[in-house]
Amino acid sequence: MPLTQPTIALSQPSAEEALIHLKEVWKVFKMPAGTFEALKNINLSIRGGEFVSVTGKSGSGKSTLVNMITGIDRPTRGEVRVNGTLLNTLSEGALSVWRGHNLGIVFQFFQLLPMLSVLENVMLPMDFCNRYDPAEREERAMALLRRVGLEKVAHKLPAALSGGQQQCAAIARALANDPPILVADEPTGNLDSRTAAQVMEIFTDLVAHGKTLVMVTHDLSLAQRAHRVLVISDGELIHPAIVATWPHLSHTKMRLLNRHLQTLRLPPTASLPACRWAMVLEGTLHPRPSRRRLLARPAPLSAGTWRAFSHAEEATTYTADTSGALVLLLDEKAWESLRQSAPDLITTLQNRHGGHA
Ligand SMILES: Nc1ncnc2c1ncn2[C@@H]1O[C@H](COP(=O)(O)OP(=O)(O)O)[C@@H](O)[C@H]1O
Ligand SMILES: [Mg+2]
């Protein structure tokens, strides 16, 4: 059962609205053979209460991306702000205390401490952050284990539990300090589908109760239960409008289009600049009335629709309404470059007045 009808998000929330905000984040690894760009200029905003999934091929940069949010790893360039804190400025020590209060992390391989009971594992973050009264901690840990259906095995060692139970225990541990944000990196990657479904039920319930969840997965059916699906390809975050409009486009083509598109905010009543293609993300563009076209006036372009122009000047006959508009566009140079490298992509983009409605 999906959380909500997946909304087709064409744009991201603004930086001001965001609980998690990455600005121009690069991660470059230095290798003996040279440098490797694992994240390339990531701009990402996630609202409080959102459930966002991160998908992409193996090695595309998903873990590197979520490790920026948790502060497990630091960006080479750019800023990461989570729940009001700029992570770049924190020392390692301050970062781990901050993490204990703000984030719960769930890994693919559970990472419970093998010598401690399940209950003690769940109490550990409370002890580390000194968050609750010591006398309350055990009861609180037990309540969390009850929530994930594990109260009966609370006193066992992790090794006595099934994989699915260990992951549920890891989720209880992630919730120990009641953090606003949960980050899960392939949480069901090591579970069979029935157990994965149980873990997803728990996550879904947590989101329904206000938690913000960022979940990496390469299971598309699980990814689509999120409010928003991010696609990362070779270290690039694909624009949400590309993912929403052409979800089945190959990643190579998504990247190609991603690199050519420009985003532009049009002030109220401003005209579209000369371009060969435009898609409206927010607002509506109206064609300017012209005497010549009185009989066949083109339709307005509403959010989610796009149009290719037979010559760049034709675009300037469209103007934003009084609330302005957010548009994606391809200028003459980008259009020509795409025509040469991917003619079939041009065919897709020429689907006049296209839309996903
Ligand atoms: N510490 C590191 N040093 C060098 N390369 C790394 C390091 N961590 C990750 N990478 C490389 O960055 C790319 C992205 O890795 P990762 O984020 O783990 O991918 P994913 O989680 O999508 O499978 C991979 O090519 C990986 O080899
Ligand atoms: Mg990974």
110-133 per-position pLDDT tens digit: 999 999 999 999 999 999 998 899
Mean pLDDT on 40-61: 96
Q: Rounded to the nearest whole angstrom, what is the distance from the C-alpha of residue 58 to the centroid of ligand 2?
A: 7
DSSP β-ladder status, 18-31 and 77-82: antiparallel
Task: Kindly give the number of the ligand 1 atom that is closest to the alpha carbon of 235.
Answer: 14
Task: Kindly give the number of the ligand 1 atom that is closest to the alpha carbon of 73.
Answer: 1
d(CA 233, CA 30): 20
Mean pLDDT on 195-207: 93
Q: Name the H helices within the chain.
A: 62-70, 92-102, 118-129, 134-147, 163-174, 193-208, 220-223, 240-245, 251-260, 332-341, 343-350
Q: Cβ < 6 Å from ligand 1: which residues? A: 29, 36, 38, 56, 58-64
- Give the pair of three-digit tokens for residue 57: 């091929």
What residues contact 7, with CB distance under 8 A and at least 6 apart? 227, 228
Task: Kindly give the number of the ligand 1 atom that is closest to the alpha carbon of 38.
Answer: 12
d(CA 222, CA 197): 9
- The count of domains in the chain is 2
Q: Rounded to the nearest whole angstrom, what is the distance from the C-alpha of residue 185 to the centroid of ligand 2?
A: 7
d(CA 346, CA 339): 6
Residue 356 lies in a domain: no
Residue nearest to atom 19 of ligand 1 (CA): 59
**53/195 same-domain check:** yes
pLDDT at residue 4 in the model:
41
Residue 12 lies in a domain: no
Q: Rounded to the nearest whole angstrom, what is the distance from the C-alpha of residue 23 to the centroid of ligand 1?
A: 20
Residue 10 lies in a domain: no
pLDDT surpasses 60 at 214:
yes
**217/252 same-domain check:** no
Domain boundary among 181, 205, 237: 237
- Give the pair of three-digit tokens for residue 275: 């371009």
Sheet holding 181-185, edge to edge: 103-106, 181-185, 212-216, 51-55, 228-233, 236-237
- Give the pair of three-digit tokens for residue 241: 């409008």
Amino acid at 284: T
Residue nearest to atom 17 of ligand 1 (CA): 61
- Give the pair of three-digit tokens for residue 82: 């989570």
Domain boundary among 237, 271, 299: 237
Domain boundary among 173, 208, 237: 237
pLDDT surpasses 50 at 350:
yes
pLDDT at residue 352 in the model:
59
Residue nearest to atom 26 of ligand 1 (CA): 59
Asked whether 35 and 265 are in contact (CB, 8 A), the reply is: no
Residue nearest to atom 20 of ligand 1 (CA): 59
**253/232 same-domain check:** no
What percentage of the chain reaches a pLDDT higher than 70?
94
Q: Rounded to the nearest whole angstrom, what is the distance from the C-alpha of residue 299 to the centroid of ligand 1?
A: 46
DSSP β-ladder status, 18-31 and 34-47: antiparallel
What percentage of the chain reaches a pLDDT higher than 90?
84
| Phi, psi values for residue 51, rounded to 5° | -110, 110
Task: Kindly give the number of the ligand 1 atom that is closest to the alpha carbon of 185.
Answer: 21
Residue 3 lies in a domain: no
Mean pLDDT on 73-98: 95
Mean pLDDT of all residues in the chain?
Answer: 92
**231/261 same-domain check:** no
Query: Of the ligands numbered here, which is closest to the C-alpha atom of 184?
Result: 2
- Which of helix, strand or coil describes residue 336? helix
Asked whether 78 and 22 are in contact (CB, 8 A), the reply is: yes
Residue nearest to atom 27 of ligand 1 (CA): 59
Mean pLDDT on 266-276: 97
Mean pLDDT on 244-255: 93
d(CA 253, CA 231): 13
CATH number of the domain within which 197 lies: 3.40.50.300
Range(s) of the domain holding residue 264: 248-350
Q: Rounded to the nearest whole angstrom, what is the distance from the C-alpha of residue 105 to the centroid of ligand 2?
A: 14
pLDDT at residue 288 in the model:
84
Q: Rounded to the nearest whole angstrom, what is the distance from the C-alpha of residue 189 to the centroid of ligand 2?
A: 10
For the segment 286-308, what is each residue's pLDDT rounded down to a tens digit? 998 776 656 677 889 999 999 99
Asked whether 147 and 179 are in contact (CB, 8 A), the reply is: no
CATH number of the domain within which 327 lies: 2.60.120.10
Q: Model's pTM, two decimal places? A: 0.91
Asked whether 87 and 81 are in contact (CB, 8 A), the reply is: yes
Which among 26, 39, 64 is the best mutation to test ligand 1's pocket, defined by most ligand atoms within 8 Å of the CB?
A: 64
On the CB side of 188, how many CA atoms lie within 13 Å of its CA? Answer: 22
In the block, tokens 């230095």 appear at: 30
Q: Rounded to the nearest whole angstrom, what is the distance from the C-alpha of residue 138 to the centroid of ligand 2?
A: 33
**199/255 same-domain check:** no
Per-residue HEC secondary structure of 28-87 comes to: EEEECCEEEEEEEEEEEEEECCCEEEEECCCCCCHHHHHHHHHCCCCCCEEEEEECCEEH
